Amino acid sequence: MKQLTGFLSVIVSLTTMVMAEQSTVKQFRPPAVPLVACDPYFSIWSQGDKLNDVNTTHWTGKPHRLSSTITIDGKQYRAMGGNSVSGEVLTQKSLSVLPTRTIYSFEDAGVAVTLTFMTPALPEDIDILSRPVTYLTYEFQATDGKSHEVKFTFDASAEIAVNTPSQEVVCAKETIGNLTALKIGSKEQNVLGKQGDDIRIDWGYFYVAAQASELTSAEIKGAVSQGDSATPATDVAASLVLNVGQVSKKPVSRCLLLAYDDLYSIQYMNVNLRPYWRRNGWEAADLLKASAMDYKSLVRRCTAFDEKLTADLIKAGGEKYAKICALAYRQCFAAGKFVADAKGRPISFCKENHSNGCIATSDVFYPMAPQFLFFGPTLAKSFIVPFMNYAASARWKFPFAPHDLGQYPKANGQVYGGGERNEENQMPVEESGNLLLLFGALAQMEGNANFAEIYWSQLERWAEYLKAKGFDPENQLCTDDFAGHLAHNVNLSAKAICGLGAFAKLCDMRGDKIKAGEYWKLAKEFASKWVKEADEGDHFRLAYDRDNTWSQKYNLVWDRVLGLNLFPAEVFQKEMDYYKKIQNRYGLPLDNRRDYTKLDWTLWTATLTQNRSDFEAIVDPVYLFINETPDRSPLTDWYDTKSGRKVGFTARPVIGGVFMQMLYEKKAWKKYAGRDETRAREWAPIPGQAPAAAGAAR
């Protein structure tokens, strides 16, 4: 195994990089900062302006404490954690949140200190993306021309391995190759035993590891003893001490690995599925060994990825937009889980964090999709496949698409709105339009409709439903279900029209010119009728039958992204001009009924005219909200545009919707998605095989 040291020849000083990456957009202050961002259970954040202001938490706000002290020439400083951590506060100089890395810089007593949390969420490499591992790198460099004696401690609470701190844990110290690892897990080990929203994992094992040669000590604090003895988690922590030695002008670095082996991740159609990284029979030791060996290359890859993506985001939308996307990037991936199906292929399940905990929700992965689509068809297909296999099963009897597959982490069938037996509280136009549009986007990306062929009977059925019910929706819910039922919803009608256009495009790509012509004609007629019946003078209505109303028409984005061109350009400009007149300090409300908005939809709406000044006019207040909201939690997508207060929803995957602007950037889209061409073929239709639920990966 390669050592975790000696990488200074290939790593530019992290402190230097932080300085270089500071832009003219000053004082970006995330409401919460991602530290460990791997999946809905292994998700740790700092909710303070400084890393040593507050204790770190799980995304739900429950304590998941990480803490660290740094001793310089015998004096102890607090680098991470709240007031309960001893030592004088180390002076924080800067914070940079990049797509795969969070970088803090500090300086005191003549020593510059950089802490980098790196979660290698590299979208073209699901082998790496699916690993539940975050690297924490400490770098030290003297700034005063002198030499200083440095050591540091790192502690991780056993709270990370349980749902509630009172649960008992068992602990062990293990040697894994050149690593020393501390292992903590619940005594009960009720694998996949809980489902819901405000819960944390209490099965599997949390690991903290470092090079054995660099450790002064590694111990489990507070445990009754090693082995099988159990202690309440609140009293237990994995504790490492590393002696760095003399630090001078030349930077010195050390790296820790934080990892979580959940054994089984998802229950799908009553079968327990392994995490994707385990598909070849790997155990936790294999994960840690590989992660240690790959550290050097992953630092290079993550640095290059962050720099390239940031540059492309700035080019597409400006520096403020790039910072919003960087903050959203890991949050989106960390709200879902990649597992292996029976053939070892990657499928994924998103969690509807902080709304109702549903799994694989159509109107959650629909706004999430731009981030997945932008980086390639495999990512997008990974969440569509399990959803569509359920929709194609005998269990789903409705003529429209499902809403969800259950409640995380159990994807055993829809639970929302009364589940499979109740039609009253479904979202029929919403969900059917979502899937037709996503299949249209995938077909455009791949240049063919092969993937749609697998599920053609479902797509055709849903198109027929929208043909009959889509233009003037009945009294029903849409994705903004918190606003209640609404009949004649104009924005929902726009989704149905674009969905029908997407289906026409799919028919055309399949060679069915007759059906393509039929649906193109229908979609164009509906669009023309929409323009007339929704018109309210200088904008378009919330509902066809409601005068003096308005709403964000975020669903119209697909008309240009998919090249449908069903609506005239004047529609988009008229709406945009109206939006700019009525938005508040922190953004554009969702519609005329309330002052709250949805951050994801607002970023979609900002793209409508593809005019840079229009885009910035809508995005700038959102950036201001992120910087000024008093609610310190992972990024919300539902907030008040006047007060800047969070209304609800925390850490949800929908925030990946901020990448919608990048779907217009066809050259960039092809550049990133093109890396995925080989892997995408894994989902090609299998002759003679009907869609079926994925089996277990043993």
Q: Is the model's pLDDT at 130 over the cut of 80?
A: yes
Question: What is the reported pTM?
Answer: 0.94
Give the per-residue pLDDT at 229. 63
For residue 194, report the phi and psi dihedrals to the nearest 5 degrees.
-120, 150
* CATH code for position 263: 2.70.98
Residue 667 confidence class, pLDDT cut points 50, 70, 90: confident
pLDDT tens track for 306-358: 999 999 999 999 999 999 999 999 999 999 999 999 888 999 999 999 988 99
Q: How many domains does the chain have?
A: 2
Please state the separation of Cα 674 from the chain's center in Å. Answer: 21
pLDDT tens track for 193-208: 999 999 999 999 999 9
Tell me what the mean pLDDT of segment 564-576 comes to: 98
Is residue 88 domain-resident? yes
Tokens at residue 92, please? 């924080």
Tell me what the mean pLDDT of segment 488-501 comes to: 98
Is residue 530 domain-resident? yes
Same domain, 247 and 364: no
Give me the count of residues in the chain: 698
Distance, in Å, from the CA atom of 40 to the CA atom of 338, rounded to the nearest integer, reads 11
Is residue 698 domain-resident? no
Q: Which has the minimum average pLDDT: 132-136, 443-447, 694-698? A: 694-698
Q: Domain residues for 175?
A: 14-304
Same domain, 289 and 435: no
Distance, in Å, from the CA atom of 416 to the CA atom of 183, rounded to the nearest integer, reads 37
Look at residues 304, 335, 369 and tell me which one is the last residue of a structural domain: 304
Return the higher-pLDDT residue of 22 and 52.
Answer: 52
Q: Which has the minimum average pLDDT: 223-227, 279-283, 290-294, 440-444? A: 223-227
Give the per-residue pLDDT at 672. 86
Give the per-residue pLDDT at 692. 42
> What is the CA angle 292-295-301, rounded to 5?
155
Same domain, 36 and 162: yes
Query: Average pLDDT of the chain?
Result: 92
Is residue 329 domain-resident? no
Q: Which residues contact 597 (CB under 8 A, 6 or more apart)?
A: 552, 587, 588, 589, 590, 638, 639, 640, 641
CB 179, CB 289: distance < 8 Å: yes
Give the per-residue pLDDT at 682. 55
* CATH code for position 406: 1.50.10.10
Residue type, 85: V
Give the per-residue pLDDT at 669. 82
Give the per-residue pLDDT at 224. 62
Is residue 21 domain-resident? yes
Is residue 694 domain-resident? no
Distance, in Å, from the CA atom of 603 to the CA atom of 113, rounded to the nearest integer, reads 36
pLDDT tens track for 510-535: 999 999 999 999 999 999 999 999 99
Give the per-residue pLDDT at 674. 74
Residue 27 confidence class, pLDDT cut points 50, 70, 90: confident
Return the higher-pLDDT residue of 49 and 424.
Answer: 49
Q: Is the model's pLDDT at 177 over the cut of 90?
A: yes
Q: Which residues contact 106 (CB under 8 A, 6 or more apart)?
A: 79, 90, 91, 92, 93, 112, 113, 114, 115
Same domain, 355 and 407: yes
CB 482, CB 538: distance < 8 Å: no
Q: Is the model's pLDDT at 24 over the cut of 70?
A: no
Is residue 299 domain-resident? yes
pLDDT tens track for 542-554: 999 999 999 999 9
pLDDT tens track for 677-686: 445 445 544 3
Give the per-residue pLDDT at 697. 28
Question: 3-state secondary structure string, 401-452?
Answer: CCCCCCECCEECCCCHHHHHHCCCCCCHHHHHHHHHHHHHHHHHHHCCCHHH
pLDDT tens track for 74-110: 999 999 999 999 999 999 999 999 999 999 999 999 9
Give the per-residue pLDDT at 228. 52
Give the per-residue pLDDT at 408. 98
Same domain, 19 and 124: yes
Q: Is the model's pLDDT at 421 over the cut of 90?
A: no
| DSSP letter assigned to residue 225 | S
Return the higher-pLDDT residue of 224 and 239.
Answer: 239
Residue 691 confidence class, pLDDT cut points 50, 70, 90: very low
Give the per-residue pLDDT at 417. 78
